[in-house]
């Protein structure tokens, strides 16, 4: 052996030695096949799509972070191979969730009130085993905090792991995680393809993937590129992106491979909402559609009458904000204070009821308030990986990853269709429908540096005694250093023709909602005008100046105005052992320690605006006197949280075709980035999961069936209280009245909308993958999932029990200084919602389906058939009728509650897809692939009910649908791929 090689090995051993101390992670060594590529086999840390066969994955890193045959992994996994992703014509993570077992897209399950189909905060958001997970997606096992998008243009493989998995994450979300592996350069052969894809929704997408070998078996470069403009069935929505991913593989020595990669990704997205607009006009029409000729407080003058009537009596409410400035669709600033507008249609206490689209000519394939906010994201990722065989059976792997991103997001636009009843003043638009929006943006900048080192050692004691077994011992150390800066701005009036706004006249200073500027568009259905105009360009300006009015984007929420550094250090170890080729055991241990530094943000005592407490040297404010959060200094003490998570698994191969599996895993979730009633971030939660499995393997693993019984639980799950009838908002309003009237000095409750619950999910998952011969490919993914909440909102319950009785002694007619709603109304709402919330204890979450089945099958004609080159396939997706509500009645105390023994069920979902593929050889070098996917062949455009409520408390009640989501659209996708 040459001296340079010896020196290099010693250097690598010296560098990697510190990574061994304190942690070990394991994997069973696999016998090398004579047909396997020795370059790939060199490293136990690499799995590529070459290991897969059709829809069947061959091996994975998710069971132990080193390469393991899938049949030896105890953890519940669902893996999508390159062939499967290509056949399904899927490009993003939400498409994959439609086909994974125990997984559903964000639009299912407990989606929020705005019905985000694709959450603007994280396009990776999904529901796994009944748990909503938003930042669980990783790329090459690196956590990018939900910023990085999965796209098939540079990824060949996606792996879902259900439930806690300490080997993959300790600090994470109990529902599970999903990891995508990016493409790597292949040092053996040149290959490439160019694809053009179009669909019936106006989408155009082009991709390039080219691998070039410069030195055979030594050095190769691979370039992947993307350019797309995707449309959606429900407009106005879009997804425009362009990206480049360049990666190289360099085999420095026979035992050493260096991989470098860099990606640039730029996207502009505004995805459609997943709910139908809410009805704010029906009460007005039922009351006769009266003309309003004047407004006085909460009363209105009808048709010129000199006698006012209450707005509620004619299906209206009044807008009494002190200034209430808005921008009309012609760009003119107007004052809407002292006008009237429609009110919510209500059914048995449910005050958010969707529109009756067919009655007013509103189409099902439009989004009334425009798209689901917008998301402009740009990021750059640089990765370096060094894999080295130090000595026989000892492998080292070092990785370095850096990501810089900036994202500007606008929150969801209004989901209410309103009517204008006013026939007076400067703004006469009587009878017109309109939608309005308070412009608000959040800027999130991330810099993430991830360092990871892993060692793996194969120890074969069976050579000495077969009872001692074969073992793989591996250890990993990782550091993730994340700097994030959040800025935000709500369009707020700061000056009028009379001069600057005096912030001392407003309870919340310039953050008061009465100073928020609205954008209003009047809609003309007859001329195809159904939605709010695209105002995203406004979000990049300082605001509006017009006719003496000045409005600027000013920070309003402390949650979205911060500077934080998070450092997480991880030690992990796994021992995986094979005993007499019959039993494979895995013992995983992980220690995550997270330290958080926050730069203090305070509310200015004069303006009420948030600003850094201490500024960095040289910080300069903008024209509105606002400093960026990046100008803040870290002066607050660090906060630390940590935990130990474990993973125990076993797979027993009873016979060649029958195996049994067991997995137990835990995790903890650090403090959520959501605030509770004490205005503090929610505390960490703890999760654990147990999985029992039976596996069948036939025809040399060409048919694999895995049946799992699972139970996943989490203590302290973060939930949005508003989605579970928590009375937090009304309690906050009551405390505001008490402060304004001098009854208490300060609110005893914060404005945080989130709370916690304990969640338990249990059920079954079935995965069948079959490639019985060269013609057939099958995949079946089925699941039963029941998710329930207990210990719901303990902090809210404690506050209610402590202070509710004292509220009863107060005058129920009290109001706040700037409001008109009396104390008695808030108290009634609090009691009603509290009773409803308590009734949801241990009830199945809704809307949610208990059963689901996903089937994919493909038949490819053989070489000797006259249809050679053709393949035909089909998908069938079925969800059982979901629980979409519970009977609402009154108890012996006269308070409403849910009778969970009387559920309302929605419609079962049946979706049938077809796809056709034709592969042809143009020449020895070039090939063509034509693919047609027809999704939801028999689909219709009728909205799907997602929430029902009974309209009366009587024996002859009837269910009334209050919320819908748009139907899954029928889509036709055609792609042409040139291979070379």
The pLDDT tens digits for 411-464 are 656 778 889 999 998 778 899 998 888 888 989 999 999 999 999 999 999 888
Closest to 804 measured CA to CA, from 876, 861, 734: 734
Query: Each residue of 205-226: pLDDT tens digit?
Result: 999 999 999 999 999 999 999 9
**What pLDDT score was predicted for residue 565?**
96
Cis peptide before 847 (omega within 30 of 0): yes
**Which residues partner with 566 through β-bridges?**
482, 596
Three-state SS across 75-136? CCEEEECHHHHHHHCCCCHHHHHCCCCCEEECCCCCCCCCCECCCCCCCCCEEECCEEECCC
Q: Is the pLDDT of residue 527 over 50?
A: yes
**What pLDDT score was predicted for residue 17?**
35
Highest mean pLDDT, choosing among 61-75, 229-243, 502-516: 229-243
Query: Each residue of 700-755: pLDDT tens digit?
Result: 889 999 999 999 999 998 888 887 889 999 999 999 999 999 999 999 998 888 89
Rounded Cα distance between 792 and 717, Å, is 9
Residue 248: count other Cβ atoms within 10 Å of its Cβ: 18
**What pLDDT score was predicted for residue 186?**
93
Whether the Cβ atoms of residue 916 and residue 870 lie closer than 8 Å to each other: yes
Rounded Cα distance between 905 and 920, Å, is 48
Two structure tokens written together for 45:
């840390």
Beta-carbon-side half-sphere exposure of residue 26 (alpha carbons within 13 Å)? 23
**Which residues partner with 698 through β-bridges?**
703
Rounded Cα distance between 379 and 142, Å, is 15
Residue position matching structure tokens 């159904």: 530
Q: Is the pLDDT of residue 891 over 70?
A: no
pTM (two decimals): 0.88
Residue position matching structure tokens 């009645």: 889
Buried b (16+ CB within 10 A) or exposed e, 171-197: bbbbbbbbbbbbbbbbbeeeeeeebeb
Highest mean pLDDT, choosing among 160-169, 272-281, 589-598, 901-910: 589-598
């Amino acid at each position: 052996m040459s001296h340079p090689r010896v020196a290099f090995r010693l250097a690598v051993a010296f560098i990697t030695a510190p990574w061994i101390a304190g942690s070990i992670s394991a994997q069973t060594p696999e016998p090398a096949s004579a047909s396997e590529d020795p370059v790939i086999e060199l490293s136990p840390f690499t799995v590529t799509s070459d290991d897969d066969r059709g829809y069947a994955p061959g091996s994975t890193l998710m069971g132990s972070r080193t390469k393991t045959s899938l049949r030896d992994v105890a953890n519940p996994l669902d893996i999508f191979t390159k062939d499967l992703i290509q056949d399904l014509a899927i490009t993003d993570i939400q498409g994959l969730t439609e086909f994974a077992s125990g997984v559903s897209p964000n639009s299912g399950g407990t989606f929020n009130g705005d019905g985000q189909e694709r959450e603007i905060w994280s396009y990776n958001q999904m529901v796994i085993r009944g748990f909503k997970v938003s930042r669980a997606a990783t790329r090459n096992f690196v956590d990018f905090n939900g910023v990085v998008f999965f796209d098939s243009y540079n990824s060949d493989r996606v792996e879902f792991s259900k439930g806690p998995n300490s080997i993959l994450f300790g600090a994470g979300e109990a529902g599970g995680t999903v990891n995508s592996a990016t493409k790597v350069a292949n040092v053996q052969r040149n290959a490439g393809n160019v694809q053009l894809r179009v669909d019936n929704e106006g989408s155009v997408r082009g991709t390039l993937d080219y691998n070039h070998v410069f030195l055979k078996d030594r050095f190769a470069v691979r370039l992947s590129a993307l350019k797309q403009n995707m449309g959606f069935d429900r407009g106005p929505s879009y997804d425009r992106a362009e990206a480049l991913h360049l990666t190289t593989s360099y085999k420095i020595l026979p035992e050493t491979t260096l991989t470098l990669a860099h990606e640039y990704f730029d996207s502009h997205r505004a995805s459609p909402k997943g709910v139908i607009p809410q009805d704010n006009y029906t009460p007005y029409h039922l009351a006769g559609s009266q003309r309003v000729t004047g407004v006085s407080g909460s009363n209105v003058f009808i048709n010129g009458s000199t006698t006012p009537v209450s707005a509620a009596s004619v299906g209206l409410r009044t807008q009494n904000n002190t200034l209430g400035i808005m921008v009309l669709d012609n760009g003119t600033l107007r004052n809407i204070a002292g006008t009237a507008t429609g009110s919510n249609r209500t059914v048995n206490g449910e005050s958010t009821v969707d529109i009756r689209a067919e009655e007013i000519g509103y189409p099902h394939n439009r989004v009334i308030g425009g798209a689901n906010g917008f998301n402009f994201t740009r990021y750059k990722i640089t990765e370096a990986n060094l894999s080295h065989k130090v000595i026989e059976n000892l492998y080292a792997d070092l990785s370095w990853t850096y990501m810089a991103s900036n994202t500007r997001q606008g929150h969801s636009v209004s989901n209410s269709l309103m009517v204008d009843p006013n026939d007076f003043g400067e703004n006469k638009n009587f009878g017109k429908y309109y939608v309005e929006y308070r412009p608000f943006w959040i800027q999130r900048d991330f810099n993430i540096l991830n360092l990871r080192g892993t060692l793996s050692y194969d120890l074969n004691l069976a050579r000495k005694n077969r009872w001692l077994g074969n073992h793989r011992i591996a250890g990993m150390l990782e550091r993730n250093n994340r700097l994030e800066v959040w800025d935000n701005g709500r369009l707020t009036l700061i000056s009028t023709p009379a001069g600057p706004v005096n912030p001392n006249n407003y309870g919340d200073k310039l953050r008061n909602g009465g100073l928020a500027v609205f954008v209003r568009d009047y809609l003309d259905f007859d001329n195809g005008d159904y939605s709010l105009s695209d105002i995203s360009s406004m979000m990049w300006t300082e605001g509006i100046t017009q006719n003496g009015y000045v409005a600027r984007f000013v920070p309003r929420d402390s949650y979205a105005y911060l500077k934080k550094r998070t450092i997480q250090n991880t030690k992990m170890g796994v021992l995986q052992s094979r005993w007499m080729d019959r039993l494979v055991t895995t013992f995983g241990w992980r220690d995550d320690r997270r330290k958080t530094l926050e730069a203090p943000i305070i509310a200015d005592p004069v303006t009420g605006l948030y600003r850094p407490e201490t500024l960095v040297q040289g910080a300069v404010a903008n024209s509105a006197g606002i400093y960026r959060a990046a100008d803040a200094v870290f002066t607050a003490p660090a906060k630390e949280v940590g935990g130990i998570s474990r993973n125990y698994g076993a797979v027993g191969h009873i016979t060649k075709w029958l195996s049994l599996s067991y997995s137990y895993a835990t995790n903890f979730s650090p403090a959520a980035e959501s605030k509770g009633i004490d205005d503090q971030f929610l505390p960490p939660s703890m999760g654990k999961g147990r999985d029992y499995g039976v596996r069948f393997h036939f025809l040399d693993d060409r048919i694999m069936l895995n049946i799992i019984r699972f139970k996943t639980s989490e203590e302290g799950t973060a939930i949005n209280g508003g989605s579970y009838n928590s009375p937090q908002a009304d309690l906050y309003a009551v405390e505001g009245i008490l402060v304004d009237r001098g009854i208490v000095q300060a609110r005893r409750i914060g404005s945080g909308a989130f709370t916690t619950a304990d969640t338990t999910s249990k059920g079954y998952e079935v995965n069948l993958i079959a490639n019985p011969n060269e013609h057939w490919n099958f995949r079946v993914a089925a699941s039963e999932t029941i998710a329930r909440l207990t210990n719901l909102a303990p902090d809210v319950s404690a506050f209610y029990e402590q202070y509710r009785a004292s509220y009863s002694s107060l005058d129920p007619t009290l109001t706040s200084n700037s409001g008109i709603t009396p104390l008695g109304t808030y108290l009634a709402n609090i009691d009603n919602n509290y009773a409803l919330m308590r009734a949801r204890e241990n009830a199945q979450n809704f809307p949610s389906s208990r059963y689901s089945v996903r089937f994919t099958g493909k038949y490819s004609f053989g070489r000797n058939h006259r249809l050679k080159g053709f393949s035909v396939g089909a998908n069938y997706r079925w969800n059982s009728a979901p629980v979409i509500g519970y009977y609402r009645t009154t108890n012996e105390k006269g308070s409403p509650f849910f009778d969970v023994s009387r559920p309302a069920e929605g419609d079962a979902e049946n979706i049938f897809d077809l796809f056709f593929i034709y592969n042809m050889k143009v020449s020895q070098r070039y090939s063509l692939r034509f693919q047609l996917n027809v999704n939801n062949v028999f689909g219709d455009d009728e909205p799907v009910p997602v929430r029902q409520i009974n309209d009366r408390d009587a024996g002859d009640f009837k269910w009334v649908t209050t919320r819908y989501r748009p139907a899954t659209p029928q889509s036709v996708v055609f792609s042409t791929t040139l291979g070379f």
